[in-house]
């Protein structure tokens, strides 16, 4: 007879892990929103300062501000992509009737689906996630538009 208390513990940790993944994804959404807001605030302040002081050379600093915030958002978007991938993996397991039935029959969950889920990617994979965060449409369109507007002000 299998140890059902171990399985119940794993099942509880699986539920907590799913909740924790969603919490991290939501928290990163808030951070990403604050980064965009911060970018707009700093950029508008810089442009306002440049025009109010009649120093239009400062407008070119706007591109540096935009790129800096873009890089920052790319980092956090890459982190979020890792959590989204873990959530997708968990969802795939939970929607796989055969795998789920096997887990309940054997009273054992597969590795890497029970909380805490750790990220053990290589540096190359982390870089790819960072690049994916930088190039995501929700990120790149916003910052490219700001670069375009900034260049029109020059």
Domain positions in the chain are 4-153
Within 13 Å of residue 87, how many CA atoms lie on the same side as its CB? Answer: 15
Q: In angstroms, what CA-CA distances link 102 with 66, 96, 110, 117? A: 51, 10, 10, 21
Local confidence pLDDT in tens for the 154 residues of the chain? 566 788 888 888 888 888 988 999 999 999 999 999 999 999 999 999 999 999 888 999 999 999 999 999 999 999 898 888 888 888 888 898 998 888 888 888 887 777 656 677 788 888 888 899 899 898 999 999 999 999 999 8
> Would you call 2 exposed, middle or buried from its count of C-beta atoms within 10 A (0-12, 13-18, 19+)?
exposed
Put simply, whether the predicted model's pTM sits higher than 0.85 gets the answer no
Query: Rounded distance, CA 153 to CA 48, Å?
Result: 11
Instruction: Confirm if 106 and 55 have CB atoms less than 8 A apart.
Output: no
């Amino acid at each position: 007879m299998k140890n059902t208390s171990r399985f119940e513990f794993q099942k509880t940790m699986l539920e907590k892990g799913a909740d924790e993944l969603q919490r991290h994804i939501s928290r990163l959404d808030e951070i990403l929103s604050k980064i965009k807001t911060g970018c707009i605030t700093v950029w508008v302040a810089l442009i306002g300062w440049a025009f109010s002081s009649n120093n239009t050379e400062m407008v070119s600093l706007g591109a540096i501000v935009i790129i800096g915030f873009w890089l920052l958002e790319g980092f956090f978007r890459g982190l979020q992509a890792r959590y989204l991938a873990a959530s997708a993996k968990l969802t795939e397991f939970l929607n796989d009737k055969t795998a789920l039935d096997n887990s309940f029959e054997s009273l054992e969950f597969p590795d890497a689906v029970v909380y805490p889920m750790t990220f053990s990617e290589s540096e190359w994979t982390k870089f790819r996630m960072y690049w994916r965060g930088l190039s995501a449409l929700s990120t790149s369109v916003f910052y490219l538009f700001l670069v375009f507007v900034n260049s029109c002000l020059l």
